[in-house]
Homo-oligomer: A and B are copies of this chain.
Amino acid sequence: MPHDAGNCARHGHSGVGDRDGGDQQAWPAHRRPARRYSRTPFPRQTGGPVLHHRHEPGGAVTASARLLGVDTEAVVDTFDIAVVQTGSRVGAWQQNIDAVRSEVQALAAGGSKVIVLPELFASGYDLDSIDTMAESVPGRTSTALGALAAETDTVLVTAIAFRDADGIVFDSSLVVGPGGLIALGHKRFLWDREKSVFTPGAESGLLVSSPFGTIGVVICYEAGFPETVRDLVQRGADVIAVPSAFGHVRLHVWKLLTRSRALENGVVVAAAGLTGQTGDGPRFAGHSVIVGPQGRTIVEMDESVGSVSATVTRRELLDARDEIPYLKDLARLGGITENDSTENPHERNRDVRSAIS
């Protein structure tokens, strides 16, 4: 895939995220027409997505629940993925949903099929109000996003403040498709004061099969742990979606980890973040980005609200994994140290090292 304007489109406008804070101009007053130079052929979609999940804590894939009777063999080889960047207002649920609806409708009209939304965009990111904003699933956010996914024939990925039947509150990844709710995961690696309002999930990372390949989901800070994304990719992820609310003070971390996770795994990373600052709340990083499987930026936003999209292909992913065979070498050698299952243990190697000690 060439990394030029030919395979990406950009929506939105400038005007938020001024350095000195203050209330942001949260919603577009006008929208520039989407530029699109290459139309994606409409995918051969065969139905709604499928959830793969693990029942056992040990880590192996032990179950694959087919939710909607999909034939997952028929995966499209080329599709458009998009990230939406919002300046969500705390507590302004309807306004936050409406703004995302506009972006998703525009993206879908342009051909996007998988759309990643920021973490906690619906409630706004205010840890002090999480307890009142937390909702169940099905709940108002999952229902609204499910209707939007059905209307636009897209798969939507985000993270919400979720309260389970026992009243426990998680920061939960949510995936909805045209057929409704697909999957729910729970953030395990909580950032800073999130630890005091959310309960950590039992596993980091969520894996979802879709007609557009297998989507792995990690939430914000979790993407900084190479282990989590590696695990998802080794279990089959083609795309890593990262709903985020990353702090602007660590923008260099955001830029580094999104590229590195893509490079070291030969996988597309689509990372959507909050942007701007409300009152004296945290200033968010913006810079939502889609990174190709060679670790190169395909398209990156600044600190404006809006969205960008890119066409991704299975061919580019396979080429990247051939060009730098991290995954193949790991699989071939069975990991970073020899073990009993290694085909050809190099016993002499250890002897050499022992000989000089």
Contacts and interface: CB of A to CB of B under 8 A. Distances in A.
A349 B201 contact: yes
Nearest to A63: B357
A170 B205 CA distance: 38
Number of copies: 2
A166 interface: yes
A252 B296 contact: yes
Given A200-B333, A201-B349, A339 B57 contact: yes
Interface stretch (A39-47, A118-126, A220-228, A303-311): A220-228
Contacts of A189: 329, 333
Interface string A289-329: 00000011000000000000000000000000000101001
A337 B199 contact: no
Interface residues of A, number: 70
Contact of A357 (B65, B340, B348): B65
A326 B224 contact: yes
B204 A337 contact: yes
Contact of A201 (B166, B260, B264, B346): B346
Contact of A346 (B65, B202, B253): B202
Given A164-B348, A336-B228, A356 B184 contact: yes
Contacts of A335: 227
A166 B250 CA distance: 51
B253 A53 contact: no
B259 A263 contact: no
A230 interface: yes
Given A57-B338, A199-B346, A352-B186, A224 B256 contact: no
A172 to B, nearest CB: 8
A226 B189 CA distance: 18
A58 to B, nearest CB: 7
A335 B260 CA distance: 20
A116 interface: no
A336 B225 contact: yes
A57 B344 CA distance: 13
A345 B53 contact: no
B250 A256 contact: no
Contact of A337 (B59, B252, B348, B356): B59
A23 interface: no
A57 B256 contact: no
Given A186-B349, A296-B252, A51 B329 contact: no
A137 B352 CA distance: 10
A55 B54 CA distance: 34
Closest 9 CB pairs of A and B: A226-B226, A260-B260, A65-B357, A202-B349, A203-B337, A204-B336, A202-B338, A57-B338, A164-B352
Given A59-B339, A203-B336, A225-B264, 14 more contacts: A53-B354, A55-B350, A57-B345, A57-B350, A165-B352, A168-B346, A168-B349, A170-B349, A181-B356, A186-B352, A188-B333, A189-B329, A225-B336, A260-B264
15 contacts: A54-B337, A59-B337, A168-B346, A185-B353, A186-B352, A189-B333, A202-B346, A203-B337, A224-B263, A225-B330, A226-B227, A252-B296, A253-B295, A256-B259, A256-B260
